[in-house]
Amino acid sequence: MKKRGIEDLDLVMVDPWCAGYHTNADAPSRRLAKPLIFCRTESDCPMENGYARPVEGIHVLVDMQNMVVIEFDDRKLVPLPPADPLRNYTAGETRGGVDRSDVKPLQIIQTEGPSFRINGNFIAWQKWNFRIGFTPREGLVIYSVAYIDGSRGRRPVAHRLSFVEMVVPYGDPNDPHYRKNTFDAGEDGLGKNAHSLKKGCDCLGYIKYFDAHFTNFTGGVETIENCVCLHEEDHGILWKHQDWRTGLAEVRRSRRLTVSFICTVANYEYGFFWHFYQDGKIEAEVKLTGILSLGALQPGETRKYGTTIAPGLYAPVHQHFFVARMDMAVDCKPGEAFNQVVEVNLKVEEPGKNNVHNNAFYAEEELLRSELQAMRDCNPLTARHWIVRNTRNINRTGQLTGFKLVPGSNCLPLAGSEAKFLRRAAFLKHNLWVTPYAHDEMYPGGEFPNQNPRVGEGLATWVKQNRSLEEADVVLWYVFGVIHIPRLEDWPVMPVDRIGFMLMIYTHPNNIHSLHHLIASS
């Protein structure tokens, strides 16, 4: 530390990153960490951004079970980046600027209270109802999702919805960044890293908070107060039409019910949201923000695998991948397993007598009959989406009822096929996987991904059974990600980035019910 100009060791921060699995030396005979080291500038500023000064070139290996330093190697002397006056994120002039003063207060008031009803962990809102739970690994879990449809009563949609894994691979081949491919759910725990929310900032409006309770590693009970937020949001216009002949217009406002939690994993914050809409949609959304994970540079050095954002400081390129596990139950009563999955692609009609004007295109459906056939990727060129249909239930036009999964923006891993982290994260190789429900198939990287060489475990192995999906209790595993090429504007804080997907009623005319019926009461 003294070689790098650090005299006060109280300023040094150590983040214990999991070792992953790269060689047999990482075998899971003991729990290993390869920490990253940073150094703050000021001892009297508890909110200082310590990630602004990475201590580069030091290799450390720690046995986390016995709390023993196994290896310590000063491999390369890289100067500590100078203190950047713009490094901090606290309010006021400590950032090198001043706060905005031209924004008036925005009040969200529900004088008659909220429209949702709560009984324990049971939530009812508009025509939706469901239960919420919480685990240290996944965080928020949504159970028993159903829609109340007039005379048809309670119509199930899903048994269980949650985010079961998250992987963040970095694209810099240099040490230590090539080892950054954390499984933030399986290795660290999204729920374990959740934190208490603050009314008026994390959430606005009439808020109902839920505490999270789970066992910690010593067997005791840990409680995070105000961990899950439930509230209603105005979401702009749901539907509008003006009759140009009469000048008469009709418009409906859109309101949604949002259930969410936020976790901090080292330098990054992740907000996980489930939005329920009045037109029968369910939206899953992840918001990414926080602080970039950085590297130090030699004087005059640049790095092609990242962005120089301050003197001696760069941010590596990386990706964030999330896995949503959706155990579906579309129109299935308890004990029934009558769902199947269909892929839909738009096709351009061949020129000829059916397309004399060369303008024709149509939607083509393909039943995904087995697990290996259901390893699928997004394709925006064909507006590809997937429908979970009930094989026994039809609407009044004679079509099978269903919910469709509509992808948002997405990507696949940019690493080479032989990248070490893909051995543990083979589930990232496709955007969609479908399996029949099995009680011991909960996590795509297997039950214990820490330092796991991944032999015979995880989603990519389970699907080799090639089980039938033609009529089953189907589980959708949707993998979605974002590529982060850091910008200068991402320093010192990274503004929120949003990714997600939609579950929507599959609406041929009057499929489950007409959209007019859905929105008329809004």
Catalytically annotated residue among 84, 172, 184, 490: 184
Alpha-carbon distances, residue 315 vs 291, 306, 410, 411 (angstroms): 10, 5, 22, 20
Tell me, yes or no, if 268 is annotated catalytic: yes
Q: Give me the residue label for tokens 């491919």.
A: 181
Strand order in the sheet with 58-63: 32-33, 58-63, 68-74
Q: Spell out the alpha helix ranges (H) of 235-394.
A: none
Q: How far is CA 34 from CA 58, 68, 177, in A?
A: 10, 12, 11
For residue 471, give both structure tokens. Answer: 């009529």
Residues 6+ apart with CB under 8 A from 101: none
Q: Residue 437 catalytic?
A: no
Which tokens go with 425? 């994260």
Structure tokens given for 430: 């496709």
Angle at Cα 387 formed by Cα 381 and Cα 389, nearest 5°?
160
Among the listed residues 370, 396, 402, 365, the one whose alpha carbon sits nearest the alpha carbon of residue 383? 365
Enumerate the β-bridge partners of residue 339: 390, 472
CA distance 326 to 431: 14
Buried b (16+ CB within 10 A) or exposed e, 453-480: ebeebbbbebbeeeeebeebbbbbbbbb
Angle at 189 between CA 187 and CA 194, to 5 degrees: 150
**Bridge partners of residue 436, in order along the sequence:** 474
The CA distances from residue 508 to 143, 224, 315, 425, 504, in Å, are 27, 44, 47, 37, 12
Distance CA 308, CA 476 (A): 40
Give 77: exposed, middle or buried? Use CB within 10 Å, 0-12, 13-18, 19+.
exposed
Catalytic residue chosen out of the listed positions 206, 268, 314, 443? 268
The catalytic residues are 184, 268
